Amino acid sequence: MIDKIKEHIAEVEAFNAETADQIEAFRIKYLGKKGILNGFFAEFKSVPNEQKKDFGQAVNALKQAAEAKVTSLKEVLESKQEEKGVYGDLSRPAEPIEIGARHPISIVKNQIIEIFSNVGFNVSEGPEIEDDWHNFTALNLPEYHPARDMQDTFFIQTDPDILLRTHTSSVQVRYMEENKPPIRTISPGRVFRNEAISARSHCIFHQVEGLYIDKDVSFADLKQTLLYFTKQLFGKSKIRLRPSYFPFTEPSAEVDIYWGLETETDYRITKGTGWLEIMGCGMVDPNVLRNCNIDPTEYSGFAFGMGIERIAMLLYQIGDIRMFYENDVRFLEQFKSSI
């Protein structure tokens, strides 16, 4: 009998409970009216006299153990509930923390900045609301110049002199007005054109402008710089410069990279030629230098401009420019692993 009581004491000591119901069930089992302890007390009279003392002590020990257990379990439970009051339920699984992603336009912009800053270009910025001088006139596009039609402009209604810049070339002018050569700067930023929105074009997009002015800068320097850039960004090492026209450069060129014709997509995006146009460039027109108080007999330089969306679409194989502005998380979260 005493062994049985000792087993119970061990069971009581090992017992643990998490909820008030479990503690109550334990209390009833041992200390309730029809509980184990009262069972032993009822048997007391039938215990032989010489064992009564040991038996009594053992039952008392069991009673004390059970009561102490109930008290301590209740205390633990109460203290947990107090914590809950201040901090919530500390035993709940943690909320998963969602880590955001950079926008693909920012990712590509930062890559371009990094590549050019490695060869000494700094970053400059200008205003999105521009005046006619910086967006057009200083860039060799005087009033009534037909090339103004190449860029459908948003004007600020009350003042025909104020507009939303149509390209980041306006920052070239501002930079040259404020800094003396040597100049090596790239200017990323948002530009605006009054164009119909489609899969290929949008009325708001981003460009990066590049400008290099120093003594004896040549077209060969331009080509070498662009080759370095395309190798770094696309991992492609074949480019070609096609003669073109921009009012602010002379001579002017469009830059194509050789993308290859390995896959069906390559065929589609290069229209079967393997070549892709990625930017415009040229030697800064002497008129532009003069407009910015730089002496064209002393200095020469090159400039280039590219659309960030176009480059991001090529790098990430994005088929529709509108995706960049819809902020659909299913699109954005695909860039989580990119820097």
> Of residues 181, 247, 280, 301, which one binds ligand DAH by CB under 6 A?
280
Stretch that binds ligand DAH, among 43-51, 87-95, 112-120, 301-309 (CB under 6 A): 301-309
Out of 192, 304, 324, 335, the only residue in the binding site for ligand DAH (CB under 6 A) is: 304
Report the nearest approach of ligand DAH to the CB of residue 93 (Å).
52
Q: Which of 211, 228, 225, 229 is nearest to 300 (CA)?
A: 211
C-beta closer to ligand DAH: residue 36 or 279: 279
Closest residue to ligand DAH, based on beta-carbon distance: 305
193 near ligand DAH, rule: CB under 6 A: no
Closer residue to ligand DAH in complex, CB, 5/294: 294
- 109, 167, 174, 310: residue in contact with ligand DAH (rule CB under 6 A): 167
282 near ligand DAH (CB under 6 A): yes
SS3 sequence, the chain? CHHHHHHHHHHHHHCCCCCHHHHHHHHHHHHCCCCHHHHHHHHHHHCCHHHHHHHHHHHHHHHHHHHHHHHHHHHHHHHHHHHHHHHCCCCCCCCCCCCCCCCHHHHHHHHHHHHHHCCCCEECCCCCEEEHHHHCHHHCCCCCCHHHHHCCCCEECCEEEEEECCCCHHHHHHHHHHCCCCEEEEEEEEEECCCCCCCCCCCEEEEEEEEEEECCCCHHHHHHHHHHHHHHHHCCCCEEEEEEEECCEEEEEEEEEECCCCCHHHHHHCCCCCEEEEEEEEEECHHHHHHCCCCCCCCEEEEEEEEHHHHHHHHHCCCCCCHHHHCCHHHHHHHCCCC
Binding ligand DAH by CB under 6 A: which of 141, 186, 289, 303? 303
Residues within window 218-277 making contact with ligand DAH, judged by CB under 6 A:
246, 249
Which residue among 124, 153, 169, 300 contacts ligand DAH (CB under 6 A)?
A: 169
Residue 153 interacting with ligand DAH (CB under 6 A): no
5-64 binders of ligand DAH (CB under 6 A): none
Nearer to ligand DAH, 23 or 141 (CB): 141
Instruction: Please identify, using beta-carbon distances, which residue of 69 and 310 lies nearer to ligand DAH.
Output: 310
Residue 250 annotated as part of some ligand binding site: yes
Q: Please work out the total of residues on this chain that contact ligand DAH, with binding judged by CB under 6 A.
A: 11
209 is a contact residue toward ligand DAH (CB under 6 A) = yes
Residue numbers in the known binding site are 250
Name the site residues for ligand DAH (rule: CB under 6 A).
167, 169, 209, 246, 249, 280-282, 303-305
